[in-house]
Structure 1
Amino acid sequence: MPTGSKPEPSSFTKAIAVRINKEKTDRKMTNMALSKESGISRPLLVNMLQGTKHWDIDQLDAVCDVLKLNIVEVVSTADKETRYLNVSPLRQNQNLEAIDLDQYEKAADHNNHDSGEPEIP
């Protein structure tokens, strides 16, 4: 049995939590109601919504189902929002506030590198 601890939740995990919280709030749904409908214990759900616990794919699917969200879109949006944050610091633009995500996505779409990672504009 593994004895190592899990890594802290990443910016990607936290971006998913922010999105799910927004959608839950927009629907005026309580944590208790989302917990009951998704089948996830309320304490675990609260930790995931706070971004302090990792989302299991089945848990995320259940929550997306309750909130009538497309899980692929939720994950894709979180990926787009956080992908640049997970790039090696040596490849990051010095001015993080000036990142144009549309420009980054265009570079990703047109990049022909074998690594599959887009060039940083």
Structure 2
Amino acid sequence: MTLWEDGPVSSLDPAVAARLKRDPAGLVPAVVQDAGTHAVLMVGWMDDEALHRTLTTGRGTYWSRSRQEYWVKGETSGHVQHVREVRLDCDGDTLLVVVDQEGPACHTGATTCFDADRLL
């Protein structure tokens, strides 16, 4: 189900909001995918406010569990995420955020946060 496509929206559809399964802290994982390459860039966390900010601004906005604050991807690095669409998975417990990424997505400078150790 697409939550955001073809521009900002003013609010989340109440039927979709009711399907969104949050953890006890009110968070849901957000898998971020490059719109062009389809590579998984990173995983962030969103609560209702972060999702609202993402939907209304078109910029990837997340909740930092370690810093306990909202952050907009690229706000300090300049490596901005322009959100193309947000999708809710079939179980309602994960978001897919499809973006046009400017510069590297990972704080290490790598294109993706998944350039590190390969387990298999």
**Is this a same-fold pair by TM over 0.5?**
no
- Point out the structure with max Rg over C-alpha: 1
TM-score for the superposition, normalised by structure 1: 0.27
Larger RCO (CA within 8 A; separation ≥ 6)? 2
More strand by share: 2
TM-score by length of 2: 0.28
